[in-house]
Amino acid sequence: MTADRPGGRDAPLAPVLEQPYIRCEDVFKIYKSDELEVVALRGLDLEVYRGEMMALVGASGSGKSTLLNILAGLDQPSAGRGEVGGRDLLTTPAEELVDYRRSEVGFVWQQTGRNLIPYLGARANIEMPLMIEGASRGAARERATDLLERVGLADKARNRPDQLSGGEQQRVAIAVALANNPPLLLADEPTGELDNATAGEVFDVFAQLNEQTGVTIVIVTHDASIIERVHRVVAFRDGKTSAEIVRRTRFSREEQSDVDEYAVVDRSGRLQVPRDIADALGLGRRARVSLVGDHIEVRADDGAAAGPPPRAPSNVPPPTPPSAPPPEAP
């Protein structure tokens, strides 16, 4: 069943016919200030299945954080359909979004300082969201101890954030985000302030938790090594998804596994030609597309630079429309 599953890995398992857990269709997000409008998402389509661990990559300003904030219930789309677990994020009233944020999502920010309370130890930080939800002190301690073990920090339970390394702080932050057992874990550049080796350790913790608990994970990152740890990488360009890289073989930290790279075709059949190919072909505003056997061929417009359609010279009278009445006899 490995090969059939979206994401291609046999792990905490989504039946093949399951509905997507996250479904974005034609999502727009427009930020308006006094005179300026920024279209941060322009018709974005994305599906994520329960139990998937995936990454979003893309140039700065391509809309990654905007989407993550929408999925986190921190912001709402301007138009389109954005659903998580069957809940429509466009129409959910603000009060209900508060509940949604508490029960459905855990969030890890890039800035280590934003994730943790500075004057509490690691375990107390994890206990905090549990106590807020009404857990007893004993139950909170038990859960926090278990999570500290899972992120490999059982021996640092009493350390405050300033007594932990950056990577350790992010591992505690993951434990805090998962304290109330949300089905969805979102992380916006969680390793942005870490060196490569430490970033790898933090990604490993995400991967282990995904495998052990089946929590769905979406990570925004600039770190190319993420492909080694996720089922799928989706690339953003100008507020839309443009490409997908899917692992073909089973997840394994030891083996280099094969990956397939796809261009995304949106629901209207629009396909983004990868930028390097567009540049190599010299694609301008128009291209010739033809069906050749079982594939299509795309060629740069071989005419001059694409401009307006040719016009008749001005000394030639325009043709008489076929429907024009014949001139009347005198």
Ligand X SMILES: Nc1ncnc2c1ncn2[C@@H]1O[C@H](COP(=O)(O)OP(=O)(O)OP(=O)(O)O)[C@@H](O)[C@H]1O
Residue ranges that bind ligand X, judged by CB under 6 A: 31, 38, 40, 58, 60-66
3-state secondary structure of 146: helix
Among 65, 125, 169, 216, binds Mg ion (CB under 5 A): 65
Place of tokens 């913790």: 205
Select 38 or 224, whichever has its Cβ closest to ligand X.
38
Select 38 or 265, whichever has its Cβ closest to ligand X.
38
Query: Which of ligand X, Mg ion, none does residue 61 bind (CB under 5 to 8 Å by kind)?
Result: ligand X
How many other CB atoms are there within 10 angstroms of residue 56's CB atom?
24
Is there a contact between 251 and 269 (Cβ–Cβ < 8 Å)? no
Residues belonging to the chain: 330
Distance in Å, CB of 58 to ligand X, minimum: 6
Select 38 or 306, whichever has its Cβ closest to ligand X.
38
Choose among 262, 219, 246, 202: nearest CA to 64.
219
Query: Which of ligand X, Mg ion, none does residue 9 bind (CB under 5 to 8 Å by kind)?
Result: none
Query: Which of ligand X, Mg ion, none does residue 60 bind (CB under 5 to 8 Å by kind)?
Result: ligand X
Select 28 or 159, whichever has its Cβ closest to ligand X.
28
- Please give the full DSSP string across 24-60, using - where no structure is assigned: EEEEEEEEE-SS-EEEEEEEEEEEE-TT-EEEEEE-T
Distance separating alpha carbons of residues 70 and 61, to the nearest angstrom: 15
The first and second tokens of residue 306, run together, are 């694409």
Distance in Å, CB of 138 to Mg ion, minimum: 39
Place of tokens 């799928």: 232
Query: Which of ligand X, Mg ion, none does residue 58 bind (CB under 5 to 8 Å by kind)?
Result: ligand X
Query: Rule CB under 5 A: is residue 221 a binding residue for Mg ion?
Result: no
CA distances, 204 to each of 14, 148, 200, 238, 326 (Å): 21, 15, 6, 30, 82
Distance separating alpha carbons of residues 60 and 58, to the nearest angstrom: 7
Q: Residues touching Mg ion: how many (CB under 5 A)?
A: 1
Select 5 or 64, whichever has its Cβ closest to Mg ion.
64
Query: Rule CB under 5 A: is residue 191 a binding residue for Mg ion?
Result: no
Select 84 or 220, whichever has its Cβ closest to Mg ion.
220
Select 33 or 314, whichever has its Cβ closest to ligand X.
33
295-302 long-range contacts, Cβ below 8 Å, gap at least 24?
Answer: 298/273
Distance in Å, CB of 221 to Mg ion, minimum: 10
Distance in Å, CB of 31 to ligand X, minimum: 3
Query: Rule CB under 5 A: is residue 242 a binding residue for Mg ion?
Result: no
Distance in Å, CB of 43 to ligand X, minimum: 14
Contacts with Mg ion by CB under 5 A lie at 65
